[in-house]
């Protein structure tokens, strides 16, 4: 049985920050639905290891090691990728976290969060969108967070970046929908990832999370794949500027 609306066969998908965690899970999920995925990160060795794993599973995969916070590197890398064929799907996943009381939050950490979590979406999104606009179609998926809506102590700057991701998604859709692009966001809740390792290993936090989340547990990265495939496929052809929460109900309850 085939589902043509969700078929990604032959489409090239660039996933930033995809050497591990959510990015790698999304890349694997898109590849399983037929896309040729391009893994991105700064650690070439990690990318090659991830690519080898996907290739062993029979998936079509490329790698592109570049720093998404460097606009010149982004422009050069996207130009090189486009020379090998169109980038038809972009998942802006690269992101970092740092926790500290707001009154003591280091300025350099604020700047790093802004560059990685917000500026990189603009740099990569703009570079890839130019080719999409010329072709009259394209899919961009930005990775937001439940922190696009909610706050917790010690992560106010991260919360600011993810709020910006949600509104940048709206802005991209507003500017680019008329060119045939769909730009949406996925807002994950709390998932078991390397970024959240400190929280996963904290019994007190995990107990709190289970009580706070209607689903009563951490999310698993594979549970984000369906949302990504939907937003990357023709099934979402009239969905634009939307943020899809995949969070076990945490933003729906108090």
* Catalytic (active-site) positions: 158
| Nearest CA-CA partner of 160 in 114, 121, 119, 196 | 114
Residue 84 near residue 90 (C-beta atoms within 8 A): no
For residue 186, how far is the Cα from the chain centroid? 7
- What is the Cα–Cα distance from 122 to 138, expressed in whole angstroms? 16
| Nearest CA-CA partner of 27 in 235, 176, 229, 206 | 229
State the helix-helix crossing angle for 107-114 and 156-176, rounded to 10 degrees.
30
φ and ψ of 45, to 5 deg: -65, -45
φ and ψ of 86, to 5 deg: -65, 140
Give all strands (DSSP E) within the chain, no chain letters. Answer: 12-15, 36-41, 61-65, 89-92, 138-143, 181-188, 243-246
Cβ-Cβ contacts under 8 Å for 42 (sequence gap 6 or more): 65, 66, 67
């Amino acid at each position: 049985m085939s589902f043509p609306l969700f078929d990604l066969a032959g489409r090239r998908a660039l996933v930033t920050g995809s050497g591990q965690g959510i990015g790698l899970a999304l890349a694997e999920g898109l590849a399983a639905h037929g896309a040729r995925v391009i893994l991105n990160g700064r650690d070439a060795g990690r990318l090659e290891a991830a690519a080898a794993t996907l290739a062993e599973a029979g998936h079509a995969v490329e790698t592109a090691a570049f720093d998404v916070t460097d606009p010149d590197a982004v422009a050069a890398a996207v130009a090189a990728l486009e020379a090998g064929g169109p980038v038809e799907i972009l998942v802006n996943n690269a992101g970092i976290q740092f926790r500290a009381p707001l009154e003591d939050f280091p300025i350099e950490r604020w700047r790093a969060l802004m560059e990685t979590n917000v500026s990189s979406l603009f740099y990569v999104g703009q570079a890839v969108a130019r080719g999409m606009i010329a072709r009259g179609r394209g899919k961009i998926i930005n990775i937001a967070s439940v922190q696009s809506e909610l706050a917790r102590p010690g992560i106010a700057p991260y919360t600011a970046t993810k709020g910006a991701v949600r509104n940048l998604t709206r802005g991209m859709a507003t500017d680019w929908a008329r060119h045939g692009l769909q730009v949406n966001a996925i807002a994950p809740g709390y998932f078991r990832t390397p970024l959240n390792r400190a929280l996963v290993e904290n019994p007190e936090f995990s107990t709190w999370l289970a009580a706070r989340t209607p689903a009563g547990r951490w999310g698993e990265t594979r549970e984000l794949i369906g949302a990504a495939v939907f937003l990357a496929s023709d099934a979402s052809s009239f969905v634009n500027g939307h943020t899809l929460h995949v969070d076990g109900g945490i933003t729906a309850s108090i």
